[in-house]
Structure 1
Amino acid sequence: MRELRDSIRDLVNRSVEQAGESAHATVVVTTEAGIVQWLATSEGVFHLEVADPALPRRGPLARLLRRRRGETGGQPFTDRQLGLLTDSGFAAGEPNYELRPDESGIDNDHIVHIIVTVLHDILGIRDANAISAEVF
């Protein structure tokens, strides 16, 4: 789990650093089990989302492939998973579960803890090699 935490810490730091150069940065972490994404400014992460697995993933290629295979969205979060999201400060949004820190914000170490908790305890990710990430 240390490797996962270190990878997420690196992504949070890179997003904040990149935001200092371009006003904001977006990070999308994709796993087989779901998607976690966030927006950052040079002051830190200010918006965090966990994609609802029951909703079909967007994008023309993804839709085309799902239609060919007759697939819809994945399994919805269990009550336990929803409880963990709520306990972490997330609320149901459209279409994802969202965490928006208040004016006082959340420090980067807490953001890393929240993201690792989502990946590990909710999406079942145990290894940093099980994620792919894009910072833009």
Structure 2
Amino acid sequence: MSPNTAPAAPAAADEVATAEPRSAADHRAATHPTDTDATPVQKSCPDCEVAIGQYHVEGCDVARCLATGLQRLGHDEPCRCPQDVWTGRWPGEAECLEFGWLYGPGLPDFNRLVMTATWDPVARRWTHPDHQNTPDQNTTVEGEQ
């Protein structure tokens, strides 16, 4: 393994098991976009040019903080969380596709993702408001499906 190659990442967004009932899963599959709506995989990061599976270079505009899900460059001081890995797609694109939050094919609504979803630092992905299980608050956003 080269120094810039990351260890195996947690399951991809489309491989993460859900706890939703089968009928809800069937409904989501029938009403949400498919991988054909995704942008093509990019073999290297458009900013730091690392290959898929490699850590982003420090200072990369695309790299995300794995503690917050936001741009790593947005920290006041260097981030101490693990480095982000280039997956071949823009951070958050898989979740936008999964949640059906697209302006059109290949146009993920990243603004809606950051404003509506919640970052899960353990799973290292955004979670839909309908699937956030917190005992002390109702996290469903009115009007969301």
Identify the TM-score tier after normalising by the shorter chain: 0.3 to 0.5
- Between structure 1 and structure 2, the one with the greater Rg is 2
Q: Which has the higher strand share?
A: 1
Q: With a CA cutoff of 8 Å and minimum separation of 6, indicate the structure with the bigger relative contact order.
A: 1
Q: Which has the higher helix share?
A: 1
> What TM-score comes out, normalization by structure 2 length?
0.32
